[in-house]
Chains A and B, each alone.
Chain A
């Protein structure tokens, strides 16, 4: 029987209340949303927070998906199932549908949240690659107000993010790029598993050449879940199999995958190249 160590439990009823609780309990407190990463880690005693601040009561306040100006806002408390079913989000960016369909399973997706996934900072997390490809911005609130963090600076290492112990991730903002295509490709050992490797791509073409390219990679040791060298290779070139294959190889060269129970490093590097190629082709097909 797996039982977490003891902890104090507090329920936040607003963002300011959550921040006040974080201030009161200090750096050994953890925010819990869906809990589907944190609670298993607590049961295994890999995490032993002194206090849990439950923000499920903020589901309405932080649970919206809406286009505001030229950005798509996705609240931190949006559940995976809600993102998957959001016509607004998946209509603009089919990459969300591709990725969410293969994150865990429908029951887990009912509970797990977008913000929780990102703040957990797992180096194999899917949405981290998706938001990196989309060049999203994270909105973080602390005692001094809100600040924004480019998603490519949000993750600072395994299980480490730019969110300070007294701050809360509020929402993600994704620039809406008219005429862009997007896609996500993942290889997993079995349905619902974490990826062996996965890649996301966003492309915009102008005058026959690629005007903008975003590539996100997860589980393969890509710095900040992105592949800037491969993106730079693509911009200015005509979209096509040759450019996509080359970009995939460049992305793979810059990864640092580790061998583990999901596969050897060279296999993951192969997947990084191949899945990047497929995601780019998929994104191009949706322009």
Chain B
């Protein structure tokens, strides 16, 4: 089936099987390996991307479901060579250790701050509750998102 998905502002047209999952479309068809592929069961959240501006777990979305829609991956957070403020927060506050959960965490953090520019710690923890950090580095992830909230205010 021929689909066109706009990823990080660029339309991409490919012939795909309906059973192809969005995460594999992004990684294998488009080479955007910033989106990680983890538990494959919609539990861990490393595959989180924005679909029409809303975070979804791309291991549980078919690529054909994104046909005609807009996807943002971690590669799309940077603008004109400038890291997004949430990326800067993770740098400043050591928000990553192995980095496996980081792309999903960043996209959820961006979405959270778009909706709630000044979230408290409980709101941040709730927002990332569908994402597992294998290093258990949640303290610094929460600090990083708080840093970003303050930096963008």
Please state if B1 and A111 are interface contacts (CB–CB under 8 Å).
Answer: no
Partner of A36, one of B1, B18, B45, B60: B60
Q: Does B17 contact A (CB under 8 A)?
A: yes
Closest to A34 in B: B60
Closest to B125 in A: A191
- Pick from A18-26, A63-71, A102-110, A132-140 the stretch touching chain B: A102-110
Q: Does B151 contact A (CB under 8 A)?
A: no
Interface residues of A in 71-129 (CB under 8 A from B): 104-108, 110-111
User: How many of chain B's residues have a CB under 8 angstroms from any CB in A?
Assistant: 27
Given contacts A7-B19, A52-B18, A54-B65, contact A40 B126 (CB under 8 A): no
Please state if A43 and B40 are interface contacts (CB–CB under 8 Å).
Answer: yes
Q: Does B95 contact A (CB under 8 A)?
A: no
- Pick from B7-15, B50-58, B76-84, B137-145 the stretch touching chain A: B50-58
- Residues of A with C-beta under 8 A to B131: 105, 107
Please state if A56 and B65 are interface contacts (CB–CB under 8 Å).
Answer: yes
Please state if B130 and A6 are interface contacts (CB–CB under 8 Å).
Answer: no
- Distance between A247 CB and nearest chain B CB, rounded to angstroms: 32
Question: Which among B19, B42, B126, B131 has the highest number of chain A CB atoms within 10 Å?
Answer: B42
Please state if A106 and B127 are interface contacts (CB–CB under 8 Å).
Answer: yes
Given contacts A39-B60, A43-B40, contact A107 B45 (CB under 8 A): yes
| Measured CA separation A282–B26 after assembly (Å) | 46
- Distance between A29 CB and nearest chain B CB, rounded to angstroms: 13
Partner of A105, one of B1, B54, B130: B130
- Distance between A117 CB and nearest chain B CB, rounded to angstroms: 14
Please state if B130 and A192 are interface contacts (CB–CB under 8 Å).
Answer: yes
- Residues of B with C-beta under 8 A to A105: 45, 129-131
Please state if B56 and A110 are interface contacts (CB–CB under 8 Å).
Answer: yes
Please state if B129 and A192 are interface contacts (CB–CB under 8 Å).
Answer: yes
Q: Does A9 contact B (CB under 8 A)?
A: yes
Closest to B50 in A: A110
Partner of B129, one of A39, A43, A54, A106: A106
Interface residues of A in 1-51 (CB under 8 A from B): 1-9, 11, 35-36, 39-40, 42-43
Q: Does B102 contact A (CB under 8 A)?
A: no
- Residues of B with C-beta under 8 A to A43: 40-41
Question: Which among A1, A3, A105 has the highest number of chain B CB atoms within 10 Å?
Answer: A105
Partner of A108, one of B17, B57, B65: B57
Closest to B45 in A: A107
Please state if A40 and B19 are interface contacts (CB–CB under 8 Å).
Answer: no
Q: Does B87 contact A (CB under 8 A)?
A: no
Q: Does B108 contact A (CB under 8 A)?
A: yes
- C-beta contact mask, B1-44 vs A, less than 8 Å → 1, else 0? 10000000000000001110100000000000000000011110
| Measured CA separation A7–B127 after assembly (Å) | 34
Please state if B108 and A107 are interface contacts (CB–CB under 8 Å).
Answer: yes
Given contacts A107-B48, A191-B129, contact A35 B62 (CB under 8 A): yes
Please state if B57 and A106 are interface contacts (CB–CB under 8 Å).
Answer: no
Please state if B40 and A2 are interface contacts (CB–CB under 8 Å).
Answer: yes
| Measured CA separation A7–B20 after assembly (Å) | 11
- List 7 additional contacts besides A9-B62, A11-B64, A192-B130; criterion CB under 8 Å: A2-B41, A3-B21, A36-B60, A39-B60, A40-B41, A54-B64, A111-B61
Sample 18 A-B pairs with CB under 8 A, ordered by A number. A2-B40, A6-B18, A7-B19, A8-B18, A9-B1, A9-B18, A35-B62, A36-B60, A54-B62, A104-B130, A105-B129, A106-B126, A106-B127, A107-B131, A111-B56, A111-B61, A192-B129, A192-B130
